Amino acid sequence: MHLRTDLRLENVTLSAGSSVVLKGVSLQTSLAGITLLSGRNGTGKTTLLRALLGLDKPSHGSIFLRNAVPEDIRKDVGYMPQSIGDAALAIPAFSHVLNAVGGACWGLPFHWRARRREAERVLKLTGARVFAHRPLGALSGGERQRIGLAQALIGAPELLFLDEPLAGLDHGAQNEIISLLCELSRNLGIGVLMTSHETSSLKDVVSRTLLLEGGHLRARI
Ligand SMILES: Nc1ncnc2c1ncn2[C@@H]1O[C@H](COP(=O)(O)OP(=O)(O)OP(=O)(O)O)[C@@H](O)[C@H]1O
Ligand SMILES: [Mg+2]
């Protein structure tokens, strides 16, 4: 298999407040298949994902995704944040996805009919269409994760960055989400980079692990 370099860090120093998340880290890796970004609470996984999206900036060094700076490749990257804002919980899940298709973040020019089609498409992909009429706050954790995933799939991204998509789920629901991620990666060729503390549930499906610890990031195949 051809392993291209999807992610390249060149001497990156990255901080959040007074915490130094990366201390002069250089690393290059493929993101094909499923990549687990692992590390203890507070080591900086969310901060690193945000930097890969161009939302946070390193104080030193450079980040490249597929040879582009993060800002230039944002439309090819779907993102599921660690938590959805409380204000969103009252609106129907479908509207939540539909609003996101508007593409305010990613600059996609969608006509309203095409927006609706795109919302239907991504909800179908994640098996969330059947409960998408209900308010987000009235959905179970697993159902909500499928809505979040649907939102991240808008615009057919090549890479998916998922922050704790298994958090708060029981084993059955975790396995359902893991199977879904495997399908997305296998059938659509999407490279998935996800944070999770569920390393044992994921050990058979991940292609590689990136371990974040004490300001260092190490890859393990
Ligand atoms: N906006 C901020 N201002 C100040 N400090 C912050 C900010 N965001 C994060 N931090 C700090 O940076 C460190 C890394 O936080 P981050 O949320 O990236 O960790 P994490 O690995 O995602 O943790 P978790 O596993 O709990 O999700 C923490 O010490 C956190 O308190
Ligand atoms: Mg986090």
> Is 47 near ligand 1, meaning CB less than 6 Å away?
yes
CB of residue 196 inside a 6 A radius of ligand 1: no
Q: 7-220 adopts what CATH topology?
A: Rossmann fold (3.40.50)
How close is the Cα of 193 to the center of ligand 1, in Å?
18
42 lines ligand 1 (CB under 6 A): yes
Task: Place 85 in a pLDDT band, splitting at 50, 70 and 90.
Answer: low
pLDDT of residue 30: 95
Mean pLDDT, the chain, rounded, equals 90
Task: Tokens for 181, please give them.
Answer: 């991620």
pLDDT above 50 for 1: no
Q: What is the pLDDT of residues 46-71, one digit of tens each?
A: 999 999 999 999 999 999 999 999 99
Would you kindly state where each structural domain of the chain is located, as residue ranges?
7-220
Q: What is the pLDDT of residue 149?
A: 93
Contacts of 149 (CB under 8 A, 6+ apart): 80, 126, 128, 160, 162, 165, 177, 180
Indicate if the pLDDT at residue 103 is higher than 80: no
Using 50, 70 and 90 to split pLDDT, how confident is the model at 108? low
Are the CB atoms for 207 and 47 separated by under 8 Å? no
Distance from the Cα of residue 21 to its chain's centroid:
19
pLDDT score of 112? 77
CB 15, CB 21: distance < 8 Å? yes
Residue 19 CA: nearest ligand 1 atom is 12
* 86: confidence class by pLDDT, cuts 50, 70, 90: low
Asked if the model's pLDDT at residue 18 lies above 60, the reply is yes
Nearest CA to ligand 1 atom 7: 16
Distance 57 CA to ligand 1 centre (A): 14
pLDDT digits 0-9 by tens, 2-11 = 457 899 999 9
